[in-house]
Amino acid sequence: MDDSEQRVPDPHSGWVAGINRLMIYTSGKSVGRARSGTGDWDIAGDCLLAIVAAAASVEATVGEFLAYPTNQTLFASEIEAWRKGLPRPHEVIKVIIRKHGGRDVGTLVWYDRLRCLFELRNSLVHYRPRKRDVGTFPDELGNCVRKRAFVPGGDDTMDWTSRVLVPEVAAQAGDIAQAAIHGFLDEVERTPQQAHD
C-alpha cells in the first residue's frame, strides 16, 4: 500500500463508511424534532437521541482513524489492551493524540468540552438512580456545568434531567461533537514537525 492510500484528501469527511457524519446528521434531525415537538416525552426523547448520537459520532471518528492500516500498526499494543477493557472514549483520544503527535490534550478546549459531552451522555444512559436534590447535578456533570462546557436549560427548581433533556442542550451536544471531530482530525493529520510547533 503506498502513501496515497494512507492519506485522507479531506480529513473531516471520514473514509471508512462515514458513520460519524450519519450520526451527526441524526443528532441534528433529532434536535429539529425536539424543537418542533409538542409532548414532553417526545421532546425529551429526541433530545436524548441527539446527545447519544452526537457522542457516538466522535467514537465513530476515532474508530475510522484506527482502521487505517498504519494506525493499526502504530497503536497495536493499545488496541490489544483496549480489547480487554475499553477505557472512556476521551481517554482513547488522549492516548492517540499524545502518541501520534506528542501533544498534551490539557491545552485543547474542544477536548475538555468533549469530556463533558461524554459525562452528559454517560449520566443519561448509564443512569444510576439515587436521591438527588433539585438544582443539583451528578458530581462530574456538575463540574462541567460550572465550567460552562455546556449550559443547561431551566433553573435550580428543576431536577437535572429536566435541565439537560432540552433542545438547547441537545444542540450544544452536536456543536461539541463537531468541534471535537474537527479538532481530533486536525491533531492527527499534523506532521510530527507541526505537532511540536
Domain boundaries, the chain: 17-196
* pLDDT at residue 131 in the model: 78
* pLDDT at residue 10 in the model: 52
> pLDDT-derived band of residue 88, with 50, 70 and 90 as boundaries?
confident
Does the structure show a pLDDT above 70 at 68? yes
- Output the CA–CA distances (angstroms, integers) from residue 111 to 54, 58, 176, 179, in the order listed: 14, 11, 9, 9
Q: Is 65 helix (H, G, I), strand (E, B) or coil?
A: helix
pTM metric for this prediction: 0.85
Determine contact, residues 149/112, Cβ cutoff 8 Å. Answer: yes
Extract long-range pairs of 120-126: CB within 8 Å, 24+ residues apart: 120/51, 120/55, 120/144, 120/150, 120/164, 120/169, 120/173, 121/51, 121/52, 121/54, 121/55, 121/173, 123/160, 124/48, 124/51, 124/52, 124/161, 124/164, 124/165, 125/48, 125/52
Q: What tens digit of pLDDT does each residue of 124-147 get? A: 998 677 778 898 999 889 999 999
Q: What tens digit of pLDDT does each residue of 90-107 get? A: 999 999 999 987 888 888
Q: What is the mean pLDDT of residues 147-154?
A: 94
